[in-house]
Amino acid sequence: MVELGWWGVPIGVVGGAIRVSTPFLFVSLGECITERSGRINLGLEGILVMGAMSGYAASYASGNPWVGVLAAGGAGLLLGLLHGLACNLPRVNDIAVGIGLMLFGTGLAFFLGKPYVQPKAPTLPAIPLGAWSGSPQIQAALQVNPLFLIGLALALLLTWAFRNTRWGLVVRMVGDSSDAARAMGYAVPRVRTLSTALGGLLAGVGGSFLSLYYPGSWSEGLSSGQGLMAVALVIFARWNPIQCFYAALLFGGAGALGPALQSVGVTSGYYLFNAAPYVVTLGIMIATCSPRRTLAGAPGELSINR
């Protein structure tokens, strides 16, 4: 075996980033679509946990993990639709409904998921991209999950679609100026509801990664708040899908830095690295905001910009 020493740190971080970032990637892409349409969904945490539970349950029942991924997406779609429809009502606050959805989704998942804590469901396969290397650490770091690649493809597709398709332009217009969209004859609430539902679908799929790949089982402590972090991620990524991909890697890598440093003997202070992405996001917000100007690149209709 090749001794890696301090080289283990960057390799551990890269491996950790690839392993951990997939749920971040899916929730942030979902939140990106929702926020681009001018609405914010803080309930993705609940959707993520519900997706993890229903994905695991469906995989267990059907014996096929991909059925689980589909079920997770379906559950996410329904909860996203619920958020979208509730926020269409007058005077209903999207932030409060989001927090409510977070509690509802996690509660429902814990309730329905109780029978699935023990049984072992089939999980998603890994693609060994590191097979060329003799070092087991590099091999372990480059075990890539198909969902990670799907997420990357989705990020590229969404970046392209926001710029070049009619659908993308409509979502952006609704998010930047509902008056303009209404003048063009588009139904603003409907576009937002569909965008929120689509965002929920992606968050649900992100949840299925947690239960079907890494850590790869269902338990109540499965999510460590990835769904709520999506909001920070999207700001960090400036509402740009491909930058969501980089941001997800960075957030994942920051989380993996602690354990990687621990493996080479640095045991103190690594909790502070967990805070790094948030400090940087806050720094970006402080640097680009001013009392007269809102965040650059943010959709104009977003409630957090007014």
Residue 81 binds to other proteins (criterion: CB under 8 A): no
Residue 281 binds to other proteins (criterion: CB under 8 A): yes
Binding window for other proteins (CB under 8 A); candidates: 12-20, 94-102, 170-178, 238-246? 94-102
Residue 140 binds to other proteins (criterion: CB under 8 A): no
Binding window for other proteins (CB under 8 A); candidates: 150-158, 209-217, 238-246, 268-276? 268-276
Binding window for other proteins (CB under 8 A); candidates: 168-176, 178-186, 211-219, 285-293? 285-293
Residues 49-68 that bind other proteins (CB under 8 A): none
Beta carbon of residue 82, minimum distance to other proteins (angstroms, whole number): 7
Residue 231 binds to other proteins (criterion: CB under 8 A): yes
Binding window for other proteins (CB under 8 A); candidates: 9-17, 61-69, 172-180, 286-294? 286-294
Beta carbon of residue 7, minimum distance to other proteins (angstroms, whole number): 26
Binding mask 95-134 for other proteins (x = CB under 8 A): xxx-xxxxxxxxxx-xx--x--------------------
Tally Cβ neighbours within 10 Å of residue 293: 8
Binding mask 235-254 for other proteins (x = CB under 8 A): x-------------------
Residue 295 binds to other proteins (criterion: CB under 8 A): yes
Q: 């229903």: which residue's tokens?
A: 54
3-state secondary structure the chain: CCCCHHHHHHHHHHHHHHHHHHHHHHHHHHHHHHHHCCCCCCCHHHHHHHHHHHHHHHHHHHCCHHHHHHHHHHHHHHHHHHHHHHHHCCCCCHHHHHHHHHHHHHHHHHHHHHHHCCCCCCCCCCEECCCCCCCHHHHHHCEECHHHHHHHHHHHHHHHHHHHCHHHHHHHHHHHCHHHHHHCCCCHHHHHHHHHHHHHHHHHHHHHHHHHCCCCCCCCCCCCCHHHHHHHHHHHCCCCHHHHHHHHHHHHHHHHHHHHHHHCCCCCCHHHHHHHHHHHHHHHHHHHCECCECCCCCCCCCHHHC
Residue 92 binds to other proteins (criterion: CB under 8 A): yes
Q: Which residues bind other proteins (CB under 8 A)?
A: 42, 46, 82, 86, 89-93, 95-97, 99-108, 110-111, 114, 220, 225, 228-229, 231-232, 235, 268-269, 271-272, 274-275, 278-279, 281-282, 285-286, 289-295, 304-305
